[in-house]
Structure 1
Amino acid sequence: MRRLTIPCLILAAVLLLPAWFGLRAYRNHHDPDIIMERILSGNGYSFRIMEESVPMTLHVKPEWIPIAGKEQRFLHEKLYEAYGTEIYLEQIWNRGDDLYFGFHTVFRPDDDRGEFLHNQRFLGNGTVSTSGGFRELLPFDASGKPIDPSQGGSGPMADFSFKVSTEQINRLRDGIDVSYTGMKLYEYWRSDS
Structure 2
Amino acid sequence: MKFMRLNRSLLLMTAAVLTFSACKRSHDDPGTEYAPNMYDPVGYEPYKQIDGFKNPYNKYGTNLWEPVRGTVSRPNYHTKFSDSTGRSTEDLMVYNIHPDSITISERVLKNPIPLNDQVLTDGKEYYARYCQHCHGETGKGDGLVAKQYKGVPVYSGLPPMNDGHIFHVITHGKGRMWPHGSQMTPEERWKIVHYVQKLQNEG
- TM-score of the aligned structures, taking structure 2 as reference length: 0.21
Which is bigger in relative contact order (C-alpha 8 A, separation at least 6)?
A: 1
Choose between structure 1 and 2: higher helix proportion.
2
- TM-score of the aligned structures, taking structure 1 as reference length: 0.22
Between structure 1 and structure 2, the one with the greater Rg is 2
